[in-house]
Amino acid sequence: MAAAGVSDDQVTSVCGHCDRAIPSSNIDLHFAHCSRNLEKCIVCGDMIPRKHAEEHFLSTHAPACCSLCSETMDRDILDVHKGENCPKRIVTCEYCEFPLPAIDLLEHQEVCGNRTELCYMCHKYIRLREMHSHVSRCTGAVSNVAESSRNTRALERERERAAGAPRRQPREFSPRRLLFTIAITGIAVLLGSLFFQRKPGRTPVN
- Give strand pairing partners of 125: 118
Report d(CA 90, CA 104) in Å as an integer. Answer: 10
CATH class held by domain 64-112? alpha beta
Beta strands 90-92 and 99-101 are: antiparallel
Beta strands 47-49 and 72-73 are: unpaired
CATH architecture assignment, domain 11-60 = 2-Layer Sandwich (3.30)
Candidates 150, 122, 149, 154; CA nearest to 136 is 122
The alpha carbon dihedral of 131, 134, 136, 139 has a sign of negative
Q: Where are the domains of the chain?
A: 11-60, 64-112, 116-156
pLDDT tens, position by position, for the chain (206 residues)?
444 444 555 788 888 888 888 888 888 888 888 888 888 887 888 888 888 888 888 888 888 899 999 999 988 899 999 999 999 999 999 999 999 999 999 999 999 999 999 998 898 999 999 998 998 888 876 555 445 555 556 556 666 666 654 554 545 556 677 677 777 877 877 777 776 665 555 544 44
